[in-house]
Amino acid sequence: MVWPMSSPKSDMRLYIDLLFRKTNMYANYNPTTLLELGDYGDITKEGEFIRSGNILQEDTSLRDAVESGKEPTGSDKYYFASRSPRNNTFSVITTDIPTLAECSPKVGWDIKKDRHAALIMINANRHEIRFEGRLHRYIQNLPELAEKAVVTKVYRCSAYAQLITNDGQSGQVYAGFKGNNSAPSTPNSSGTSVVERAWQTFSQTGNWNTGTHPLSSSLYTPLVTIRQIRPKGPTTGYRDPIPPEITDEDEMQDYILPWGDLDEHGDEID
């Protein structure tokens, strides 16, 4: 199942915003659009990453200097984020869900109100720039990159499931991942139950968006870390303070998303 192309742009922005506040990472609304270490560009008001280039591909010596690497083994990871900080807007489903009996992982929530976002990644590896400070020193004097978002960490996975719940609707949502494609039973509920290859999903509010590849592949990038590059300020005289030295391990500043607080519709609050 895929999210409909007619989905409001505000839903995309709210999904990104909720998971950013939860993980401090940018949630790629379309994980089939691959993001790479060193990609730089802009994020639109709707939340889309517009790629301008890749600093590590443009200078291969820099790529060797920053020593990109990845976690040795993949693992399953999931995140659930709520717009409201109050705990009374949802509860975790702790009872056994028969249709997920053969699944791992298997997660579910009972949505009571407000908007929520979920992301599940299967066999996820984190790729990262080891020496972010070296990257920072290299590009801090490049004015064309001053306001750009730069990708410094990437989660790649072989399967993903995403959800943004509907406004004003309550009900159960759950998902599980199977290692085989055997058909599940159909739950007795007013919601919809779907199997897409190895995914088993169910939702009474919102639609799950899923994708799978063979286990040996990591062709989706649902979650990345983006940093903000700012050039050194202009010199005003000998009294200017000496900025602290940027060490190899120093991280750049977090990128600031181009919108303020959002309401339950995904629109900016005036």
* Whole-angstrom distance, CA of residue 265 vs CA of residue 12: 11
Q: What is the pLDDT of residue 195?
A: 46
Inside any domain, residue 3: no
Find how far residue 38's CA is from the centre of its chain.
17
Per-residue pLDDT of the chain (270 residues; tens, 9 = 90+): 555 555 678 999 999 999 999 999 999 999 999 999 999 999 999 999 999 999 999 988 888 888 888 887 789 999 999 998 777 799 999 889 998 998 999 999 999 999 999 999 999 999 999 899 889 888 887 888 878 999 999 999 999 999 999 999 999 999 999 975 444 444 444 565 554 458 999 999 999 999 998 766 778 999 999 998 765 555 555 555 556 788 887 888 899 999 999 999 999 998
Whole-structure pTM value: 0.85
The domain in which residue 138 lies consists of: 9-254
Question: Domain count of the chain?
Answer: 1
Residue in 128, 140, 130, 129 with CA at minimum distance from that of residue 245 = 140
* Whole-angstrom distance, CA of residue 252 vs CA of residue 129: 11
* Whole-angstrom distance, CA of residue 16 vs CA of residue 47: 7
Q: What is the pLDDT of residue 70?
A: 82
Q: What is the pLDDT of residue 140?
A: 83
Inside any domain, residue 267: no
Inside any domain, residue 133: yes
- Report the phi/psi class of residue 197: left, alpha or beta, with left for phi > 0 and alpha for psi in -120 to 50: left
Inside any domain, residue 67: yes
Inside any domain, residue 182: yes
Inside any domain, residue 101: yes
Beta bridge partner(s), residue 246: none
Inside any domain, residue 162: yes
Residue in 9, 7, 14 with CA at minimum distance from that of residue 269 = 14
Q: What is the pLDDT of residue 26?
A: 97
Inside any domain, residue 140: yes
Q: What is the pLDDT of residue 186?
A: 46
Q: What is the DSSP string of 52-105?
A: EEEHHHH-HHHHHHHTEEE-SS-EEEEEEEESSS-GGGEEE--S--GGGTT-SS
Q: Which residues lie closer than 8 Å to 233 by C-beta, 6 or more apart?
A: none
Beta bridge partner(s), residue 79: 119
Q: What is the pLDDT of residue 213?
A: 83
CA distances in angstroms from 232 to 7, 62, 136, 143, 249, listed in the order given: 41, 20, 11, 9, 19
Q: What is the pLDDT of residue 196?
A: 46
